[in-house]
Amino acid sequence: MTDRKPGYTTEVPYPNVYHRELNPSFHTMALNANGLAAPSRETPYTYLELGCAWGLSTLIHAAANPDSKFVGVDFNGECIAAAGEIAKEAKLTNVEFLQADFADLPGRVMPPFDTIVMHGVWGWIDQTGRDHIVRILDRHLKPEGHAFISYNALPGNAPVDALRRLLQVGFELGAEPLFNKVNAGVGIAAQVKDNGARFFAAHPMMAERMDHMIKPAPRDYLAHEYFNADWQPFYYRDVEKVLAPIGLQFAGSAHLLDLIDDAQLPEAARRHIAGAPTMATRETLRDFYINTLFRRDMWRKGTVAQTKDSQDALMATRFVVGQGVEHFDRIAGHAMLGEVRPKAEPGRAIVAALEAGPKTAVELSKDPTLASVELAVILETLMVLAAVGAAEPILPEAGLAARKASCQRLNAALAQRTLNAARTGGREWQSLASPVTGGGIATNAVIQAFILARHQGVEPMAFAASFAPDEAPAADVQEHIRKLYEVFERESASTFGNLGIV
Ligand SMILES: C[S@@+](CC[C@H](N)C(=O)[O-])C[C@H]1O[C@@H](n2cnc3c(N)ncnc32)[C@H](O)[C@@H]1O
């Protein structure tokens, strides 16, 4: 069966993944980290996600921000139906999922949005689709509103574009159904690589990608990533040119690792970029120095100006840690030019202090263990921790009880589906909503079982074991789950506690 909308694979849905950069509270912190003013998330807001697929990010944000209004749009009916069912099960009355084509939205009557986000959409559709997105941003984003757009970037993706051409040749020769065609695409490229093609010698990263595809990577992911009729990487400048006429200005990267230039750029490159006369020059130089593969950019409808208030706002932001100090050595992220880690000191002391409860940089500076550390260094370290995903900004205390109640309902609905899928096969929903951060956290089926059992007041290990696949031997399963429960208790129960999830 071929059911392809012009330019987009609709036979198989995209995997369901939570994206932290789509979290409005995270945006606020990222805008501040870019030196810009940012909307407070204490006032209710409106939020639209374009191409939301299964709606996991929008569901999580809706549950964690019950006073705000959320809309998720995708033309994939299976995904939208599932997202809508989960919203209903979780009794979320502040979210709507629309099965619609972007083409239908510019003319649709909708409330104006404070935030419009899209992840993995801009470069995965055809030019007509992008034109519709620009009209949506023009028509439905409020003045002073913010957009988030991620895309595969150039020059990093130049060889990926070439590899995709080769994959497509095999795909077109392959027989239906879709996954056969995907395998035919991967097969032809693997053969070219194995026969010693110079393309792969010249681009070792493409050889690595082929190894990953052969391994194999999930076919639904590959279908969307490499086999859409339209897939296009962009130079920053070309995106800016399209968004400037509708009044959108670049408001910095939401990928905080991008802000840690020390980790990515040699001194001469930093000086060169700092001296660039325009944003387009600056970002272009950066993308060439780094060979950027993926951009996660924020845009503001209106003027963008640096403000000192952003520093005060960051100082007043409370952070929570995602792991205990005993795992400090595991805290690391990967920037384009290598690994980024927080400095051991004051990193350890900060993580230890945050483990005891969320704090601002100013509050941390009053902790006896950090008394001799300058406030600027504390803030810088917090930013590194946030950039590598080890710390998250949190929402204000007010409203926490209501947020907890709606997150608990959503988390129960997600966990129940994940556990049913673990037993009988099907789609797992591997993130849960945090009423503390307003965003999601990645989990797995077993952890979801332990958390759900605690909420239901039943014995966690027996509860988790009841979802093991039928064919698994009972004694082995019980022993395995007992060990996993020990690890959960020791390593992650307190984290989920700090995040308001257990
Ligand atoms: C690559 S997936 C990304 C999904 C999700 N945002 C994520 O990053 O996990 C792109 C999504 O956009 C949707 N999409 C593509 N073209 C669309 C259109 N013209 N109208 C509505 N949805 C569209 C697809 O169905 C798909 O779910």
Mean pLDDT of 191-208: 95
Ligand 1 pocket by Cβ (under 6 Å): 8, 14, 17, 19, 51-53, 74-76, 101-102, 119-121, 124-125, 129, 224
Pocket probe for ligand 1: among 121, 132, 221, 430, the residue whose CB has the most ligand atoms within 8 Å is: 121
What confidence score (pLDDT) does residue 92 get? 98
CATH of domain 4-155+233-305: 3.40.50.150
Atom of ligand 1 at shortest distance to CA of 101? Answer: 20
- For 90-105, how does the pLDDT look when each residue is reduced to its tens digit (9 = 90+)? 999 999 999 999 999 9
Given the CA of residue 125, which atom of ligand 1 is nearest to it? Answer: 16
Hey, what amino acid is at 279?
Answer: M
pLDDT digits (tens, 9 = 90+) for 333-388: 988 777 899 999 999 999 999 998 999 999 999 999 999 999 999 999 999 999 99
pLDDT digits (tens, 9 = 90+) for 30-43: 999 999 999 888 89
CA dihedral defined by 158, 163, 167, 170, rounded to 10 degrees? 120
Beta-carbon contacts of residue 228 (< 8 Å; ≥ 6 apart):
7, 8, 9, 124, 125
Question: DSSP string spanning 337-373?
Answer: TEEE---HHHHHHHHHHHHTS-B-HHHHHTSGGGTTS
- SS3 at position 14: coil
Cβ contact 152:160 at 8 Å: yes
Of 403, 463, 453, give the one whose Cα is nearest residue 433.
403
Cα of 51 vs centre of ligand 1, distance in Å, is 4
CA of 138 relative to ligand 1 center, distance in Å:
20
Lowest mean pLDDT among 58-62, 149-153, 456-460: 456-460
Parse the chain into domains and list their residue ranges. Answer: 4-155+233-305, 158-226, 318-393, 400-498
Best residue for ligand 1 mutational test, from 3, 4, 5, 8 (most atoms within 8 Å of Cβ): 8
Is 10's pLDDT higher than 80?
A: no
